[in-house]
Amino acid sequence: MADILRHYYLPLLRKGALTILEIEESMEVRMEGFNLRGRLDSVEQRGDKTVIVDFKTGAAENYLRINIEKLDLQKRETWGESIGSLQLPFYLLLYSEKKRRPIEELNALFLLLGRSRITGEIELPLFDDSSPAEMFAPLKTLIFRLLAEITDPHILFSPAPDIKSACPPCDFKYLCGTPWVVK
pLDDT band at 76; cut points 50, 70, 90: confident
pLDDT tens by residue, 141-154? 999 999 999 999 99
Tell me, rounded to whole angstroms, the distance of Cα 178 from its chain centroid: 24
Instruction: Decide which of 164 and 141 is more confident.
Output: 141
- Amino acid, single-letter form, for residue 95: Y
pLDDT at 173: 77
Q: Which amino acid is at 123?
A: E
What does DSSP assign to residue 83? B
Asked if residue 120 has pLDDT above 90, the reply is no
Burial of 10-25, coded b for 16+ CB within 10 Å and e otherwise, reads eeeeeeeeeeeebeeb
What stretch of H or E contains 165?
helix 163-166
Strand partners, 54: 110
20-37 pLDDT per residue, tens: 999 999 999 999 999 999
